[in-house]
């Protein structure tokens, strides 16, 4: 007796919805932007060279995961050959899931090393409860990672600090240290043996958050500094986030200022010889226009009374004022027009 068997015909997958297409488009744009910005930072500061062995410090947070992920992608299409080794310092924090990072790194097929050092107990023993732990924790971690880099033959140490970290450091130094100092994208390590690089220097933290969510990194929260909400750095980060929301573009402009420094317009005598400058008698197109209006004043305030009475637009008024200063060396002292 023959029996008939029914065979199910596989149905084709449903086409993506409009929302799914838009989401995929946005992620593609984000990916291109992140890889372009990291590649640009590496190029601008010559961070990675032929034959380098780059030790990527992996904490288990969104920043270091994103750094490793992007560097691995760039490594595949870079015009130079360099190797990557991921290193995690297991500080023996209570409840730290020691199996998470090795499992992830094995899945990526990347060379890695887990360094086990109980710095957690040292920090908790030395720092009184409620005080900031970051400084001591950072010094201990830095010394260990320098040693590990030497043992692994790594000449470059890559850290996951991003654009917002750079800005936050400037304001921390400005507010609490009385100095204009930021976070360099590239420097020589304290021991003089390695080069420390920060390839995420151009990357916004919000983009890293989106990338980490998209890539579904197994994030491991820090129970030391990550749990201290009263940190000055945390307060500065909140301030920057509020500015970014209220004034789009402000953070980008501030970050851009890092690479457009004018030492002659600051006050550091070690950077510019204020004591020895003298008039040369030659016009300097880049010289200071000491009596000009500040750039942040309203355009209408830059118009001369005569220009305003003539009904000229603000742009024309500014041009007229600039022309008058050009024609007359004493133009800053010209009397007001009747």
Residues 139 and 187 in one domain: yes
Name residues whose C-beta falls within 8 Å of residue 290's C-beta, 6 or more positions apart in sequence. 332
Please indicate if the annotation marks 134 as binding a ligand.
yes
Number of domains present in the structure of the chain: 2
Residue 330 lies in a domain: no
Q: Is 302 annotated as a binding residue?
A: no
Same domain, 316 and 249: no
User: Is the same domain home to 135 and 195?
Assistant: yes
| Pair 129, 51 in one domain | yes
Going residue by residue through the chain, which has 338 residues, state the pLDDT in tens, using 9 for 90 and above. Answer: 344 444 455 556 788 898 889 999 999 999 999 999 999 999 999 999 999 999 999 999 999 999 999 999 999 999 999 999 999 988 888 888 989 999 999 999 999 999 988 777 777 776 666 566 666 667 778 889 999 999 999 999 999 999 999 999 999 989 988 999 999 999 998 888 899 999 999 999 999 999 999 999 999 987 655 555 557 888 888 898 899 899 999 999 999 998 899 898 889 999 999 999 888 888 877 666 665 555 544 444 343 444 444 444 444 444 444 434 444 444 333 334 43
In a domain, 12, yes or no: no
Same domain, 32 and 133: yes
Same structural domain for residues 246 and 101? Answer: yes
Instruction: Say which CATH number the domain at 222 has.
Output: 3.40.50.620
- DSSP symbols for 104-160: HHHHHT-EEEEEE--HHHHHHHHSPTTS--HHHHHHHHHHHHHHHHHHHT-SEEE--
For residues 129 and 224, membership in a common domain is answered with yes
Q: Is residue 337, in this structure, part of any structural domain at all?
A: no
Give the predicted TM-score (pTM) of the model: 0.76
What residues make up the domain containing 304? 297-322
């Amino acid at each position: 007796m023959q029996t008939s068997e029914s065979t199910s015909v596989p149905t084709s997958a449903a086409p993506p919805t409009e929302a799914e297409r838009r989401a995929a488009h946005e992620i593609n744009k984000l990916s291109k932007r992140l890889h372009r910005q990291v590649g640009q930072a590496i190029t601008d500061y010559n961070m990675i060279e032929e034959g380098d062995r780059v030790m990527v410090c992996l904490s288990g947070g969104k920043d270091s995961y994103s750094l490793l992920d992007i560097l691995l992608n760039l490594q595949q299409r870079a015009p130079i050959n360099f190797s990557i080794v991921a290193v995690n310092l297991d500080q023996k924090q209570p409840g730290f899931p020691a199996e998470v990072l090795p499992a992830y790194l094995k899945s990526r097929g990347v060379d890695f090393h887990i360094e086990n050092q109980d710095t957690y107990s040292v920090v908790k023993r030395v720092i009184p409860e409620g005080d900031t732990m970051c400084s001591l924790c950072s010094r201990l971690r830095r010394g260990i990672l320098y040693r590990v880099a030497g043992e692994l033959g790594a000449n470059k140490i890559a850290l996951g600090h991003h654009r917002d970290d750079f800005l936050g450091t400037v304001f921390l130094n400005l507010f609490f240290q009385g100095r204009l100092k930021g976070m360099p994208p590239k420097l020589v390590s304290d021991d003089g043996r390695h080069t420390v690089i920060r390839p995420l220097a151009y990357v916004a933290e919000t983009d890293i958050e989106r990338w980490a969510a998209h890539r579904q990194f197994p994030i491991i929260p820090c129970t030391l500094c990550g749990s201290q909400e009263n940190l000055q750095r945390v307060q500065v980060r909140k301030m920057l986030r509020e500015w970014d929301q209220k004034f789009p573009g402000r953070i980008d402009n501030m970050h851009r200022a890092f690479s457009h420094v004018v030492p002659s317009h600051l006050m550091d005598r070690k950077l510019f010889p204020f004591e020895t400058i003298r008039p040369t008698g030659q016009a300097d197109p880049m010289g200071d226009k000491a009596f000009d209006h500040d750039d942040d004043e309203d355009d209408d305030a830059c118009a001369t009374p005569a220009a305003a009475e003539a009904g000229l637009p603000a742009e024309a008024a500014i041009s007229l004022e600039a022309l008058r200063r050009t024609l007359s060396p004493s133009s800053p002292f010209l009397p007001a027009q009747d």
